[in-house]
């Protein structure tokens, strides 16, 4: 049978774009469908605009410290509208850059919703096309709890389109999205309250890291209600009233309520049942080690499968898929040592096993090295901004199983340790490495 395309990709997010361009480099006919802006969640309502907001918030922090370093005090005003205009202009540049890259690679971009007719046929706004291989890379959508009044809450998607800064912001969920927005919005002058169902924020991170970040944010004035769950949202004359249950039931008054309790695979309305694609829990697409679904010619990756919801992972999965299917270079990803970061202030980053996970696997042989210290940057100030660093080590082999950090440059430092830890570096290797002084990173070389 002759097909219109060798590969058709549904979704032009990081994973889909990477797969399409890599597959095209092998000389196959590729098209990609995207009903919204190119770049997916990361570019349009995730990593990129979020990091730009973090940078904007950092000026407030730097301004607070400037007079300790000899700079005269001056009053500055933050213009949210002007800033967001600049952010969206930058995103438009990224959209155009992605479009140019697709054109250069010879990938056809289709601005339509793609739905399955059968395993090899797609409906693109009324036009039928066929493809030998189909890749699903549709990402995820924000979850919302089914509580009365939830329609008054917004998600991270709408946060980047707020017409003005709220004076009072309540955040349901203390994951990395809720934590990051709590940090930046507080820096902009908002009164922030976070409601978290667990005992501490940032579930999945090492407990020492979770505790350090929460303490750091609390010292800045952010309120946390942990072991608490949102129950109802009501609209009053001039505010939203969020009622919680738990250890300390509260009624929180807010102008804006951000719902940040994670993402669900965006697999609805694709017609997957017509293609024989099997789903697992929460609507995630079931795939094997090479990202093949229950239908032999259909593959899936990124946030719509049940693995790791991170942009670099989706990109890596896309490249591995193309290498395996079209490049005759079978490739499987190693998910054991994936670095991750939380761009709050204080910043947090981790790679490898938490202490709890390591003890589950290695038991009493696990050794942990942890220290907390005040960085040089704050030595002239009155601010208490301790840095926490931690290594999790297999006591038998001395291999480093995990590295965790809270504080200045955490993400860059953990990223730099990533290759070494994946390659099996030992605690002794770190001890024998000469550091750069004075830096924060050198502290990892002298933990004892």
What's the sign of the alpha-carbon dihedral 201, 14, 303, 403? Answer: negative
Q: What is the three-state SS of 1-52? A: CCCCEEEEEECCCHHHHHHHHHHHCCCCCEEEECCCCCCHHHHHHCHHHHHH
- Are the C-beta atoms of residues 137 and 304 closer than 8 Å to each other? yes
Closest CA to 233 of 210, 211, 258: 258
Catalytic residue among 95, 186, 290, 437: 437
- Token representation of residue 292: 């093949």
- Are the C-beta atoms of residues 241 and 252 closer than 8 Å to each other? yes
- Are the C-beta atoms of residues 131 and 120 closer than 8 Å to each other? yes
Sequence-separated (6 or more) residues with CB below 8 Å from residue 346 = 212, 213, 216, 217, 385, 387, 406, 407, 408, 410
- Is 409 marked active-site? no
422-to-267, 335, 399, 409, 418 alpha-carbon distances in Å: 33, 11, 10, 20, 6
- Token representation of residue 227: 């072991």
Distance CA 118, CA 216 (A): 53
Distance CA 133, CA 327 (A): 14
Closest CA to 28 of 330, 331, 329, 326: 326
81-to-85, 206, 334 alpha-carbon distances in Å: 6, 37, 42
Distance CA 384, CA 90 (A): 35
Q: What spatial distance separates the first Cα and last Cα of the chain, rounded to whole Å?
A: 65
Q: DSSP state, 203?
A: T
Catalytic machinery residues: 437
């Amino acid at each position: 049978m002759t097909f219109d395309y060798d590969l058709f990709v549904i979704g032009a997010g990081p994973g889909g774009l990477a797969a399409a361009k890599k597959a095209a480099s092998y000389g196959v006919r590729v098209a990609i469908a995207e009903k919204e802006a190119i770049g997916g969640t990361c570019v349009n309502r995730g990593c990129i605009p979020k990091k730009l907001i973090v940078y904007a918030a950092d000026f407030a922090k730097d301004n607070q410290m400037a007079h300790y370093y000899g700079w005269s005090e001056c009053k500055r005003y933050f213009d949210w509208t002007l800033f967001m205009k600049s952010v969206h202009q930058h995103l438009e540049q990224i959209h155009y850059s992605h479009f140019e890259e697709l054109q250069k690679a010879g990938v056809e971009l289709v601005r339509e919703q793609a739905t399955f007719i059968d395993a090899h046929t797609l409906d693109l706004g009324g036009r039928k096309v066929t493809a030998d291989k189909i890749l699903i890379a549709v990402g995820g959508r924000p979850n919302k709890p089914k509580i009365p009044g939830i329609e008054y809450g917004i998600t991270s998607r709408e946060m980047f389109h707020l017409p003005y800064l709220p004076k009072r912001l309540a955040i349901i969920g203390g994951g990395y999205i809720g934590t990051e927005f709590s940090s930046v919005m507080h820096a902009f002058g908002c009164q922030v309250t976070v409601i978290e169902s667990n005992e501490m924020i940032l579930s999945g991170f090492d407990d020492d890291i979770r505790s350090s970040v929460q303490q750091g944010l609390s010292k800045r004035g952010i309120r946390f209600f942990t072991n608490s769950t949102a129950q109802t949202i009501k609209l009053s004359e001039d505010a939203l009233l969020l009622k919680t249950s738990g250890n300390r039931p509260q009624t929180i008054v807010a102008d804006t309520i951000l719902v940040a309790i994670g993402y669900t695979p965006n697999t609805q309305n694709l017609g997957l049942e017509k293609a024989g694609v099997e789903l697992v829990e929460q609507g995630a697409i079931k795939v094997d080690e090479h990202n093949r679904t229950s239908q032999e010619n259909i593959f899936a990756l990124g946030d719509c499968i049940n693995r790791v919801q991170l942009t670099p992972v989706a990109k890596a999965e896309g490249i591995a898929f193309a290498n395996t299917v079209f490049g005759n270079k079978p490739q499987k990803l190693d998910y054991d040592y994936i670095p991750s970061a939380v761009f709050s202030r204080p910043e947090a980053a981790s790679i490898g096993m938490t202490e709890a996970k390591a003890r589950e696997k290695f038991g009493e042989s696990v050794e942990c090295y942890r220290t907390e210290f005040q960085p040089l940057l704050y030595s002239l100030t009155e601010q208490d901004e301790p840095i926490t660093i931690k290594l999790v080590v297999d006591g038998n082999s001395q291999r480093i199983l995990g590295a965790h950090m809270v504080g200045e440059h955490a993400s860059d430092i953990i990223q730099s340790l990533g290759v070494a830890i994946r390659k099996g570096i030992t605690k002794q290797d770190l001890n024998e490495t000469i550091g750069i002084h004075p830096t924060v990173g050198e502290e990892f070389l002298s933990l004892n």
